[in-house]
Structure 1
Amino acid sequence: MPPERSRKVLLLAAFVALLLVAAGGAVVFWPARNEPGVDTATPKPSRPLTPFEQTLQLLEAQAAALTSGDEKGWLAPLDPANRKMTARYKIIYRNLRALEISHAEFHAEKQPEASSGDTVVADAALAYCLSGVSCPSWRRSSWVEGPPQAAYRVTVKRVNGAYRITAMTDKGAADDNYLQPAPWDNRALTVLKGKRVIVAGPSSQAKRLKQVLALAEKAAKAVDKYAGYIRNPQRRYRVYVADERGWKDWYGGVDEDWIIGYEIPLNATGGDVILRAKSAGDLRQLAVTVKHELAHVVTLASGHWETGDDQWLVEGIAEYIGALPRKPQETGNHDVLAETFRRRGVPKSIAVPSLTAKADDLTVNTLYAMGHYATACMADKFGERKLMRFTDMVLRQAKKPDEASRSAYGKPFATVDRDCLSWIRKRV
């Protein structure tokens, strides 16, 4: 097993939307078909409000309280008799405030079959943006466009003459949402902030959080350079340090034992990095892993298309940035390719096939190693700015490698491919 095998990361597709900037804190609701629509911040009908309109008002007030830092306002619509639910709402509020929530809006749809009289059951989606990013417009029918969201099923009843949220669950409302459960949703987090990075995790990881923040701040400075090349600056990077419970739960969890970190896109608003505390013992390896994952945030944060065919470049550019200032031949990737060449021969292209579920360890390692050498070759021959332009065109603009190569390098990809294969052979 090569020295750096354990830090290989999980590839997750990145998404982007054509953005329409929404005003901070704006709330737009999708009402049920059998009740009047509400599309402004505060409905002012001449008739009494229906129970569902009352529900919309409660959610609107909560979104405004969340963005303004009003915890009492956030908790005000809740029925205090449900202590477990109230405790969860407190956790959500405090975590999101610490994570610099800058935009929040609720969208709700009534569930007619479960609602009757003064009781309303609705699927409510909390759309949010963090750290002042430009928040895209809401997308009703898609989990992957628009702002990230967390969906809940809420029950609203009349309690002592006023409508209150009496229950909140995940059941039914969060189906197919790859961003649920979020790390901030149901566990109190310890949050540390640096100049460029926010690091968060359960209190049991407090000591590790300090280590990760120091490493992440250093990594962010390096990655910012490459973000500048492709005009994708990040207001903040976020890194979550997961204990085993969080690792198996956050964003759906990860089953593969060899993965110790991954990046997940927050729709069109950047990405989060998740690290497995159990596997992040060696500080040098941890530093490389953090920089690798932050590189994914920069190079993948705004793609709405699948990058499955370009996995060699997805991981290669992250390996390149993550390993700097070391050259690929000074890392474990050299040993990987030496073994690959000996056992399987030299690959026919730097664009090695993407991984399948049945890929063995050497196949996985080879993709990462070839990607590292390939990007290092292109940087050596054409410079980092042109390398990043090529990367940006392929991974964030959905261009084919040949079109990107002709634009960035002035040569067809077949020529670059052939020359880089020769470059790699001389160094392995």
Structure 2
Amino acid sequence: MPAGNGRRRRWPLWAALVAVVLVLSCGVPAALLVGGFRDAGGGEPSPSASVTENPTTVAARQVAERIKAQLDKQSAALLGGDRAGFLEIAQPAAHKDLRGRYAALRALKVTRWEGHPSGLPTTAARPGEWRLPVEFRYCFVLPQCQTSPVVIETRWRDGAQPRLLALGRSKTSPYVVGRMNGQPGNLPWELSELVSAVGKRTMVATTPAYRHRLPGLLKRAEAAAKVADSYTATGAAPDRYRIFYAGPKEWKRWYGGEQPSWGAGYAINVGGGHYEIVLGPESFEYGPYLDELLRHELAHAASLPEKDYTDESTWWLTEGLAEQAGADGRPVRRYEGLAETRRLVRGDWNGKLDTLSPDHDTSDERVAGSYGIAYLAVRYLVDRFGEERVLAFVKAVVHDLRIPRQTSEEIFDEKWADLHKACVAYIRSAVR
């Protein structure tokens, strides 16, 4: 994977998920059906009209309430630095896993941690045991941040104070409230021992084997954050940029590990308005290019919407904006992927911006050329209209899901067909 060639991957995309629950009841006395469940005298509904709740549902709800009390105790222990209290709610067989998570979360400066039953528990294979998905919400570094959610499967032994038997790991799943395309699997703090360093705008973390890289990474991340902060489409910059450096093993495991061969880093939505940045194992070998990579990925975290979208036709806009941040004002002639861009433009590119998005198995050279075309398109818009109007265009298209031809005249005072033609002409002239 040559430095400077296509090095990003697409990120998971979230949107709202709406669940509809139909509750069916039967055996209602016929008299209660007259007049819309009113009593025989035509007055208000009688208290006797309420349907008795299923005993199994009642029992499950009571179990969930007892589990919630245990989760509250565990949360207080984690935030209070009480490892023994964090482990106390669990059976000894679960302690090893919990010790690892406790240490990793404390290393990441966890400031909020809340566990809530996600639905009702269901009976497990053994009598007295229950399975329950739990939604955990958390913040790092800042106590008042918007929490990020993750849903994890758990197993409990019932009692006056239920005991945690097993805590799963987050899985890539489409069935998470508030996310159409699910949640990322296997978060770093679920899998790895971690160390971190915190600056004014960023938190950087990695495994102990790469602890020596944290001071330099933090300095470079803080510099990149100053650039990325100016790329917010809504005017609100992230409270802290979260950056994880992955070794070879972690690169294949964190967040599901499904990275394209040409990727060197990515930004992934973890909910609550937070995108976490992952730098690949080879990123430190890129020298000065690591600074460009950081600016690119942090610009994603600053400019992308809280809830993702699924339209790859705007890939050119989101990646072009991030490339613009990465270039940080350098002349076009010094753009690192210009040679690959020239070959693609002179080759079989169809002249359309909305078909640039590469696949996981796209060649490195074509990926680099696609990023270059996206960069030149956004560079043209910025040079002609200024960053403020371009960011307004990003908000309209990426955040508000309006197609370019609906908003181009409003923002740029020009029809999109004419502006697209001008962008393509500029791109072709820039690579002559």
Band of TM-score, shorter chain: 0.7 to 0.9
The change in CA–CA distance for 1:34 and 1:311 in structure 2 (over 3 A counts) is same
Pairing of 1:9-408 with structure 2 (within 5 A)? 9-15=8-14, 34-35=57-58, 51-79=63-91, 81-82=92-93, 85-108=94-117, 109-114=120-125, 116-117=127-128, 119-130=129-140, 131-132=142-143, 134-135=145-146, 147-156=148-157, 163-170=162-169, 178-227=183-232, 230-344=234-348, 347-357=350-360, 359-408=362-411
State the AA in 1 paired with 2:86: W
Write out the 4+ residue segments of structure 1 that deviate beyond 6 Å after TM superposition.
none
Cα deviation, residue 97, structure 1:
3.2
Using the size of structure 1 for normalisation, the TM-score is: 0.81
The change in CA–CA distance for 1:369 and 1:298 in structure 2 (over 3 A counts) is same
SS of equivalent to 1:148: strand
Give the aligned CA root-mean-square deviation in angstroms: 2.9
Q: Which whole-Å deviations, capped at 9, do the CAs of 1:36-73 have from their partners, x for residues lacking one?
A: 576xxxxxxxxxxx555432321222234334544443
SS of equivalent to 1:10: coil
Cα deviation, residue 334, structure 1:
1.8
Which residue of structure 2 aligns with residue 4 of structure 1? 4
Q: Measure, in 1, the Cα distance between the counterparts of 2:161 and 2:238.
A: 43
Count of residue correspondences: 385
The change in CA–CA distance for 1:410 and 1:97 in structure 2 (over 3 A counts) is farther
State the AA in 1 paired with 2:133: D
Gaps of 5+ in 2: 18-54, 175-181
Cα deviation, residue 232, structure 1:
2.6
Q: Measure, in 2, the Cα distance between the counterparts of 1:33 and 1:390.
A: 53
The answer to whether the 8 A contact 2:260-2:361 is kept is no
The answer to whether the 8 A contact 1:320-1:372 is kept is yes
Cα deviation, residue 391, structure 1:
1.5
State the AA in 2 paired with 1:222: V
Using the size of structure 2 for normalisation, the TM-score is: 0.80
State the AA in 2 paired with 1:191: S
Cα deviation, residue 263, structure 1:
0.6
The change in CA–CA distance for 1:221 and 1:170 in structure 2 (over 3 A counts) is closer
SS of equivalent to 1:114: coil
The change in CA–CA distance for 1:298 and 1:342 in structure 2 (over 3 A counts) is same
SS of equivalent to 1:178: coil
SS of equivalent to 1:245: helix
Cα deviation, residue 390, structure 1:
0.9
Which protein is bigger by CA-based radius of gyration? 2
The answer to whether the 8 A contact 2:60-2:122 is kept is no
The change in CA–CA distance for 1:168 and 1:384 in structure 2 (over 3 A counts) is closer
Percent identity between matched residues is: 25
State the AA in 1 paired with 2:116: H
State the AA in 2 paired with 1:226: Y
Gaps of 5+ in 1: 19-31, 39-49, 137-146
Cα deviation, residue 405, structure 1:
1.8
Q: Measure, in 2, the Cα distance between the counterparts of 1:401 and 1:36.
A: 53
Cα deviation, residue 135, structure 1:
3.4
Cα deviation, residue 106, structure 1:
1.9
Q: Measure, in 2, the Cα distance between the counterparts of 1:166 and 1:349.
A: 55
SS of equivalent to 1:238: strand
